[in-house]
Amino acid sequence: MSEEKTAKTLSKRKVELESISDWVGRGESVLDLGCGRGILLSELMRLKDIYAVGVDSDFDKISRCMKRGVNAYHGDIMDALRTFDDNSFDWIICSRTLPELENAREVVMESLRVARRVAVGFVNHAYWRNRFAEFFTGDRIVNEVFPSRWESSRPMNPISLNSFKEFCKDNDIIINRSRFLRGDWERPCRFWPDMFAGYAVFEISKEKQK
Amino acid sequence: MNNPVDITLGREYEGDVGIVAYSDYFCAEPLKFELGGELESFNVRYETYGRLNDDKSNAILVCHALTGDHHAAGVYSLDDRKSGWWNNIIGPNKPLDTNKYFVICSNCIGGCRGTTGPSSINPKTGERYNLSFPAVTLRDMVAVQERLITHLGIKKLAMAIGGSMGGMQCLQWAIDFPDRIGKVCALATTSRQNAQAIAFNEVGRSAIMQDPVWNNGDYKLERVPSVGLGIARMMAHITYLSDKGLEGKFGREQREGQKTPDGKEIFKPSFAIENYLHYQGQSFVNRFDANTYLYFTRALDLFDLRQYGGSLESAFRDMKAKVLVVGFTSDWLFPPAQNREIVKALLRIKKTASYAEIKSDLGHDSFLIHSPKLYKLIEYFLDV
């Protein structure tokens, strides 16, 4: 990957982190599903003094969490979720994890049991560039967010903003707030987000949250 | 003290602690055992590697497994072909870096490698303790280690680390002395012995106790129950490995058979794995005491952290140490799930704890074997 592309990816990741970490309150407890190298959690530990637990299925990522001093659980997301009592975390963060899950519904519902609030962030596949790429090539887009084609990337279910909202409605999930970013993942997207938002974060819960 | 800086090393020893010697700590303060019984005094044999810093904050305690001992790293002489059992982990620039840390390893109470145990002489009677030695638990082992640490002037350990029975000791440390330990790294371990592990131990003990030489524990050191102990070791050794590991190492490799085998010939060990196990059994008999084997396996069977308040959460309630537990995929003695369970309980009560799993075909003993992944993990955990 070129230097420019790497920088772009990093800044995208940063924006993604910022938009979620804004919502988390000081001293809260946060469980991150698909925590990767623990970047988000270590930032939140530093900035907001949170109690953090990350879950990931990749050893090297867990190892990186160790380096950052982030609590990490190496294993299956459902196995981790089932461990915890109802409402044992203030937050569950699920950033760009859902598309890779076989049991996304089950994970969301279990998350809503374990945490008062769940932040779900994902790439909006209905974003116009993604639509165009698919329209012209018939394939999923390949860019800095999805750097590899199907033969060397993990299986992924595309999610669109509207289908996520529908999913929430179908399952009696309350959307407390949302944040949509344009294709640059920086500027907020106010106009026709299903078409023009590149990245979306939703705060969802079972009960209405203040 | 074994300080690598003081030893001029040949190139082949680069990165190793080099030549080491053990020390003895004689404790004249009586020791009361968890299940009753008392020793008026006892000896602890131990080794140390690296240098204790001025504020005595860089000590790491290494806890050995069932058949391990205090000789965790280095060699006793330049001719010594076998280095300590965790030489790959302990040394300059190794995960337990002796340039930075002061590493301590002691033989457990009840042991047979220099620390007082059933084969030691009871000063009151002038005879060996044998079965008059008090029953030992993991808590007793840790209590004795705490005496040693205090003796060395260390208020708080930077970390305790160990695999299998060593991992259990580390957890017990964090429970019994929450203010005296900073980190715990427990590998291939469990919060209690499950029925399968107890079952294997019972087979081992039966082999020893049914050896007529055992004689209710009153055997002479010149003639030990080597048949029973050897079989116990052969059986236990299988539980430390794995199907895939054994298949890879030995497969069905076999010596040329006799042309007309009859019953006198065909049962003689001929497969490579058979000869390996016999060798393991035999060499074990030369270095391990049968009664210690009985005491330690029983200590393992009795180990159950849930006894402190009925659940793991209540056992861990006052724990302050940061914990890292590592499981190994092919470990069927203390499978990953049993390792995970420890961390799950800690996370449920919002402790600082992590679980990592390493893919390995080498079974329970994986924690003893060269593994860059494990090294990195320990290094990261230790340095944060």
pLDDT value, residue B266: 86
Nearest residue of B to residue A86, measured between CA atoms: B348
pLDDT surpassing 90 at residue A188:
no
Residue B155 located in a structural domain = yes
Domain that holds residue B210: 198-296
Query: Is the same domain home to B291 and B324?
Result: no
pLDDT band, very low/low/confident/very high, at A13 (cuts 50, 70, 90):
low
Say yes or no to pLDDT of A88 above 90: yes
Query: What is the pLDDT, as a whole number, of residue B340?
Result: 98
Identity of residue A208 = K
Q: What is the pLDDT of residues A30-84, one digit of tens each?
A: 999 999 999 999 999 999 999 999 999 999 999 999 999 999 999 999 999 999 9
User: Which of the four pLDDT bands, split at 50, 70 and 90, describes residue B12?
Assistant: very low
A206-210, B8-12, B180-184, B352-356: least confidently modelled range: B8-12
Q: Are B210 and B108 contained in the same domain?
A: no
Buried b / exposed e along B292-312 (16+ C-beta atoms within 10 A)? bbbbbbbbbbbbbbeebeeeb
The answer to whether residue B65 sits within a structural domain is yes
> Which residue among B271, B296, B321 closes a domain?
B296
The ipTM (two decimal places) reads 0.92
Chain position carrying tokens 């409402």: A87
pLDDT at B10 exceeding the cut of 60: no
Same domain? For B290 and B330 the reply is no
pLDDT of residue B348: 98
If asked whether residues B155 and B258 sit together in one domain, one would say no
**A75 contacts B357? CB cut-off 8 A:** yes
Q: Residues with Cβ < 8 Å from B40, sequence gap 6 or more?
A: B28, B30, B123, B124
Share of chain B above pLDDT 90, in %: 91
In this prediction, residue A186 carries a pLDDT of 78
List, for residues B289-313, the tens digit of each pLDDT value: 999 999 999 999 999 999 999 999 9
Q: Which of B243, B264, B296 is the last residue of a domain?
A: B296
Write the secondary structure of chain B as one string of H (helix), E (strand) and C (coil). CECHHHCCCCHHHCCCCCECCCEEEEECCCEECCCCCEECCEEEEEEEECCCCCCCCCEEEEECCCCCCCCCCCECCCCCCCCCCCCCCEECCCCEECCCCEEEEECCCCCCCCCCCCCCECCCCCCECHHHCCCCCHHHHHHHHHHHHHHCCCCCEEEEEEECHHHHHHHHHHHHCHHHEEEEEEECCCCECCHHHHHHHHHHHHHHHCCHHHHHHCCECCECCHHHHHHHHHHHHHHHCCHHHHHHHCCCCECCCCCCCCHHHHCCCCEHHHHHHHHHHHHHHHHCCHHHHHHHHHHHHHCEHHHCCCCHHHHHCCCCCEEEEEEECCCCCCCHHHHHHHHHHHHHCCCCEEEEEECCCCHHHHHHCCCHHHHHHHHHHHHC
Residue B332 lies in a domain: yes
- Residues of chain B in Cβ contact (below 8 Å) with chain A: 324, 340, 343-344, 347-348, 350, 352-359, 373, 376-377, 380-381, 383-384
pLDDT value for B309:
93
Counted domains in chain B: 2
Q: Which of A72, A83, A85 sits opposite B354 (nearest CB)?
A: A72
Q: Please tell me the distance in Å from B143's CA to the nearest CA on chain A.
A: 29
Q: Are residues B143 and B82 in the same domain?
A: yes
Rounded distance between C-alpha atoms, residue B59 and residue A5, angstroms: 45
Told to judge if B364 belongs to the known catalytic residues of this protein, a careful annotator would answer: yes
Task: Determine the average pLDDT of the residues in B363-374.
Answer: 96
Query: Is the pLDDT score of A9 beyond 70?
Result: no
Q: Which one is catalytic: B83, B164, B226, B366? A: B164
List of residues 6+ apart from B302 with CB closer than 8 A: B137, B138, B193
More confident position, B70 or A1: B70
- Residue in A59, A66, A79 closest to B381 by CB: A66
Q: Please, which pLDDT band fits residue B195 given cuts at 50, 70 and 90?
A: very high
User: Average pLDDT over chain B, rounded to whole?
Assistant: 94
- Confidence (pLDDT) at A184: 78
* pLDDT tens-digit map of A114-173: 999 999 999 898 888 888 888 888 888 888 878 888 898 888 898 999 999 999 999 999
DSSP A24: P
**Does residue B367 fall inside a structural domain?**
yes
pLDDT digits (tens, 9 = 90+) for B121-154: 999 999 999 999 999 999 999 999 999 999 999 9
CA closest to A73 among chain B residues: B355
pLDDT of residue A144: 80
The answer as to whether B98 is a domain residue is: yes
Tell me what pLDDT residue B5 has: 40
**Over 80: is that where the pLDDT of B329 sits?**
yes
Would you call B119 a catalytic residue per the annotation?
no
CB contact under 8 Å between B383 and A73, yes or no, is no
Q: Which of A156, A166, A161 is nearest to A195 (CA)?
A: A161
User: Which CATH superfamily does the domain covering A3-125+156-205 fall into?
Assistant: Vaccinia Virus protein VP39 (3.40.50.150)
Mark yes or no for CB contact A84/B380 under 8 Å.
no
Residue B183 lies in a domain: yes
CATH number of the domain enclosing B222: 1.10.1740.110
Give residue B9's pLDDT.
41
What share of chain A has pLDDT > 70, as a percent? 92
Please tell me the predicted confidence (pLDDT) of residue A8.
Answer: 58
Query: Is B301 domain-assigned?
Result: no
Residue B135 shares a structural domain with residue B251:
no
Query: What mean pLDDT, rounded, does chain A reach?
Result: 89
Instruction: Give yes or no for residue A183 having a pLDDT over 90.
Output: no
B19 and B147: one domain?
A: yes
Q: Which amino acid is at B65?
A: A
Distance CA A72, CA A93 (A): 14
Per-residue model confidence (pLDDT) at position B176 = 98
Of A68, A71, A84, the CB nearest to B348: A84
Of the candidates A1, A2, A55, A58, the one whose C-alpha atom is nearest the C-alpha of residue A32 is A55
Interface contact B354-A83, CB threshold 8 A? no
Q: Would you state the pLDDT for residue A145?
A: 79
The mean pLDDT of B219-226, rounded to a whole number, is 95
In this prediction, residue B323 carries a pLDDT of: 98
**Residue where a domain stops, chosen among B296, B318, B336:** B296
Confidence category of residue A11, pLDDT binned at 50, 70, 90: low
Contacts of residue B64, defined as CB under 8 A and 6 or more positions apart, other chains included, come to B70, B72, B85, B105, B107, B108, B162, B165, B166
**What residues are paired with B102 via a beta bridge?**
B59
Q: Is residue B159 part of a domain?
A: yes
**Residue B35 belongs to domain with CATH number:** 3.40.50.1820
Q: Give the residue, A209 or B220, on which the prediction is more confident.
A: B220
Same domain for B169 and B29: yes
Are B30 and B97 contained in the same domain? yes
- Co-location of B273 and B336 in the same domain: no
Please check whether residues B174 and B205 belong to one and the same domain: no
**Residue B281: left if φ>0, alpha if ψ -120 to 50, beta else—which one?**
alpha
The reported pLDDT for the residue numbered B257 is: 64
